[in-house]
Amino acid sequence: MHYIETHLYADDLSEQLPAFTQYSPFHFGRLFKKRIGQTVGDYIRTRRVTDSARLLRLTEIEILELAFHCGYQSQEAFTRVFKGQYGLPPRRYRQIISTLTDKERQHMQTNQLTGWFMSGTHTEEYHFETDSEIVHQGVQSGKLRHVSDGSATGKFATMMQSIQAVDYRGKRMMFAGFLKTEATGRAGAWFRVDDISGDPLQFDNMSDRSLTGETDWTYCAIVLDVPDEALSLHFGFLLEEAGTVWADSFSFHEVETNIPSTNQLGQTSLPRTPVNLTFDERE
């Protein structure tokens, strides 16, 4: 994903990727579609159109020039694709965005989002808002940042959702999305399956593959099994200590059992088979 972001407007990006990853074009395309849910070409086109919306907001670039910049042969073709993604032609989109006052933008950013809520150890020191300037796909992303002047050591916040497990019991579920960071601490996605007592049955918070420092849009995926005794599912993205994390393009869906689980509970502390049942073996 980092290669795509840093070469987003390369004319032959779709051809570069298989060579960069050392896969055949067919195998790379199949793996990409299975993992991301879009073909390589569709993903690149969507990212370019999303970035074009940013350029319309922040620059005076002509729409025809922007169309060529995104790889389209005409302004009309670019307009059709842009309207399909944003519901407005690019010129009208620019006009509407330019008429919004700072107060209206602030209200759009801080108005509470359906389904999401903040949790953590020191939520009063963190702030969540939507961001229409830094976006992976669509109109806006979610942005969680530490806003206190004091030390953030040992503190964290998360934006999360909680849902019932009843429709997912017996299934292997994937929670996946894209994160971008400017963090001195640690950031990542997380997913937890709880039983009726609130005890975790399955859990992964990306502690072994977390994002730190300045990172571009990074695909993050967590795969857990939902046992029959599961009562609730909880998932979201977190920021430990100071910095900022952006989140976008999340999905939650069932996957085949040949997709490995990322469950971290009890994975290293217990042996897989009985050991030394006759007491004859020594260290």
Interval 188-220: pLDDT, tens: 999 999 999 989 999 999 999 999 999 999 999
H or E element, residue 104 = helix 102-110
What band does 237 get if pLDDT is binned at 50, 70 and 90? Answer: very high
pLDDT score for 168 = 97
Q: Give residue-wise pLDDT tens across range 29-80.
A: 888 888 888 899 899 999 999 999 889 988 999 999 999 999 999 999 999 9
How confident is the model over 145-173, as pLDDT tens digits? 999 888 888 899 999 999 999 999 999 99
Owner of token pair 């990727």 = 17
pLDDT of residue 278: 85
What is the pLDDT, as a whole number, of residue 189?
97
Core vs surface per residue 169-183: b (16+ CB within 10 A) or e: eeebbbbbbbbbbeb
Handedness of CA 193, 196, 201, 204 (dihedral sign): positive
pLDDT (0 to 100) of residue 102: 56
Give domain 2-99's CATH architecture. Answer: Orthogonal Bundle (1.10)
All CATH 2.60.120.260 domain ranges of the chain, comma separated, are 105-254
pLDDT higher than 70, residue 267: no
Both tokens of 184, joined, read: 């001195």
What's the predicted TM-score (pTM) here? 0.76
pLDDT band at residue 106 under the 50/70/90 scheme: low
Q: Give yes or no for residue 13 having a pLDDT over 70.
A: yes
CATH number 2.60.120.260 is the correct assignment for the domain at 105-254: yes
Among left, alpha and beta (phi > 0; psi -120 to 50; other), residue 148 is beta
Which pLDDT score, from 0 to 100, does residue 32 have?
86
Whether the per-residue pLDDT at 112 is higher than 80: the answer is no
